[in-house]
C-alpha cells in the first residue's frame, strides 16, 4: 500500500535532523508530485540551515580568539541617539559554541524575532546583565558618559565575572576587565549581538510602556527617535518628563 503524503509530511515535520536526512533519501525515489514538493522543501530548508550555521560560526571568530584568556562577555547598548527615554546596555556571557539560530545585530532582526531571541538568550546564557540610565542622568553627564554608566551597571549585574569584554566599538572607562573594541561588533560577534538584542528589546518595551503614559507623543512607533512627527509634537506641546532636554534645545 502506498504511504499517504500526509503521513510523509508528518514524519518529516517530527523527525530530528539526522532522521529527516534519512527520510529525504528514502523519499527521493517517490515519483508523486506532492512527495517531490515535500522533499524539495526540506532539502531547501536544510541548505538554509547549513548556511545559517556557517554565518554563526563566522560570528564566533572573536569568541574563539579570546576564549584562551578566559570567560568572554559581549556588551552593547541601545538608545544613544533618541530624543527621549533611557539608554540601555546589555552584557551577555554565552556558553562555548552556543548555537542560537538567527542571532544577529538587533537592527538586522525583526521585532518579532528579537522578542523570541530575547527569551532564548536569557534562558541559555551563562550570565547576563542589563543596565539602564534615564534621561535626567543623560542630561546631567552627557550621553557618552551615560552610555558608559549603563554598561558598567550591566556588568555589575553579571553573576559570573568575565575575563575579557568584546565591545561594540567603545572602550569602557572604570572597569577591571581586558577590553576588545570591535567596529560594527554587533554584526561580527555572537556575544555582542546577544547583548544588542537584550538592550534593544528592553528599551523598546520601556518605550511602549511610556507610550501609555504619554500617548500624544507616539513613543510606541518611533521609540523616542527624532522622527518628523515626533519633533512636530514637541514643537506643538513641548516635552514630557522622559525627554532629554539637552537633545531638544533647538526644538523648545
Same domain, 83 and 198: yes
The Cα-based distances of 180 to 61, 104, 160, 187, 230 in angstroms read 13, 19, 19, 15, 36
149 and 39 inside one domain: no
User: What confidence tier does 26 reach under pLDDT thresholds 50, 70, 90?
Assistant: confident
> Taking 90 as the threshold, does the pLDDT of residue 148 lie above it?
yes
Cα-flanking dihedrals φ and ψ of residue 181, to 5°? -75, 130
pLDDT of res. 198: 98
- Asked if the model's pLDDT at residue 83 lies above 90, the reply is yes
The residue segments making up the domain with residue 21 are: 5-58
Q: Same domain, yes or no, for 48 and 128?
A: no
Asked whether residue 222 is assigned to any structural domain, the reply reads no
Residue 38 domain-assigned?
Answer: yes
CA distances from 161 to 1, 88, 240 (A): 62, 20, 38
- Match 549581538 to its residue by C-alpha cell: 193
Same-domain pairing of 35 and 92: no
The answer, yes or no, to whether residue 121 has pLDDT greater than 90, is yes
To the nearest whole percent, how much of the chain has pLDDT over 90? 79
- Can you give the pLDDT at residue 250? 87
Q: Is the alpha carbon torsion for 209, 210, 212, 213 positive or negative?
A: positive
Query: Bridge partners of 133?
Result: 87
> Does residue 140 form part of some domain?
yes
Q: Is residue 231 part of a domain?
A: no
Kindly report which listed range (5-19, 74-88, 94-108, 125-139) carries the lowest average pLDDT score: 5-19
Q: Return the CATH number at 83.
A: 3.30.420.10
Same domain, 52 and 86: no
Amino acid at each position: 500500500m502506498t504511504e499517504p503524503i500526509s503521513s510523509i509530511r508528518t514524519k518529516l515535520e517530527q523527525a530530528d535532523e539526522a532522521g529527516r536526512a534519512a527520510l529525504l533519501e528514502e523519499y527521493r525515489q517517490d515519483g508523486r508530485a506532492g512527495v517531490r514538493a515535500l522533499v524539495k522543501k526540506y532539502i531547501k530548508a536544510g541548505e538554509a540551515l547549513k548556511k545559517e550555521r556557517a554565518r554563526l560560526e563566522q560570528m564566533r571568530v572573536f569568541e574563539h580568539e579570546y576564549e584562551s584568556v578566559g570567560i568572554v562577555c559581549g556588551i552593547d547598548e541601545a538608545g544613544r541617539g533618541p530624543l527621549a527615554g533611557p539608554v540601555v546596555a546589555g552584557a551577555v556571557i554565552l556558553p562555548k559554541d552556543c548555537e542560537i539560530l538567527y542571532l544577529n545585530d538587533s537592527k538586522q532582526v525583526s521585532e518579532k524575532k528579537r522578542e523570541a531571541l530575547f527569551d532564548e538568550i536569557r534562558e541559555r546564557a551563562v550570565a547576563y546583565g542589563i543596565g539602564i540610565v534615564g534621561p535626567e542622568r543623560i542630561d546631567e553627564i552627557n550621553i557618552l558618559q551615560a552610555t558608559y554608566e549603563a554598561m558598567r551597571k550591566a556588568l555589575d549585574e553579571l553573576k559570573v565575572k568575565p575575563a575579557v569584554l568584546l565591545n561594540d566599538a567603545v572602550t569602557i572607562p572604570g572597569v577591571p576587565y581586558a577590553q576588545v573594541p570591535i567596529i560594527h561588533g554587533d554584526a561580527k560577534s555572537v556575544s555582542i549581538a546577544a547583548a544588542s538584542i537584550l538592550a534593544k528589546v528592553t528599551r523598546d518595551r520601556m518605550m511602549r510602556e511610556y507610550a501609555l503614559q504619554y500617548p500624544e507623543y507616539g513613543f510606541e512607533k518611533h521609540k523616542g527617535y527624532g522622527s518628523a512627527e515626533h519633533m512636530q509634537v514637541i514643537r506643538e506641546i513641548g516635552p514630557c518628563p522622559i525627554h532629554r532636554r539637552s537633545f531638544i534645545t533647538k526644538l523648545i
